[in-house]
Chains A and B, each alone.
Chain A
């Protein structure tokens, strides 16, 4: 199956700093990537849909100026959490969509555990 990598896997940062998370599709090109966040024992909440070469589409309630998404190439999307605060501490997961057998499959990266102190 398709492989999606994410870096870093864990990051601890101080309140007020910015953190960049990278998501790469390793053996395929992904025109669309998704960014999710997940709080403990909660499901994945879609933050934004990232399309290569265009602006990301954010879900309602997600601040686009705080969560900057860039999808500059078919294999790389980045999420930058700007001016991070402790409430931004969460598990951030990216996924890439692949067209297969007349529909779409999604493959997830391993996730990034962000802790803001």
Chain B
């Protein structure tokens, strides 16, 4: 199996930058996802990393280090609407079935 660990909750100020970390242990690795989930809604896809390095998409960037079993999601120019839960997911044990971490609840305040 695998373990996925991310902080439970983070707070940040509107306009600031926040980094949400995710560490994982898996017997096989086929990629790591980040999803955003607003309360009562389904997750929406943010990013997918399979190779080491930084992937940038507008205000959101995702980083992966496979040797360290580590990823982070970087959110820039935070907006109030970014308040949500951010889920880290990895493909399970060498398959293409994603397993999710508990999620990080991000609260953005004025």
Contacts of B103 on A, CB cut-off 8 Å? 43
Q: How far is the CA of A93 from the CA of B98 in the complex (A)?
A: 14
Given the interface pairs A44-B100, A46-B97, A49-B97, the reply to whether A103 lies near B42 with Cβ below 8 Å is no
How many A residues have CB within 8 A of the partner chain? 22
Q: How far is the CA of A41 from the CA of B35 in the complex (A)?
A: 15
Interface of B is mostly: loop
Which residues of B (63-97) have their CB < 8 Å from a CB of A?
87, 96-97
Given the interface pairs A43-B87, A111-B41, the reply to whether A103 lies near B102 with Cβ below 8 Å is no
Contacts of A42 on B, CB cut-off 8 Å? 102
Given the interface pairs A44-B100, A103-B50, A105-B48, the reply to whether A110 lies near B42 with Cβ below 8 Å is yes
Q: What is the interface of chain A, defined by CB distance below 8 A to chain B?
A: 1, 34, 41-46, 49, 91, 93, 97, 103-111, 113
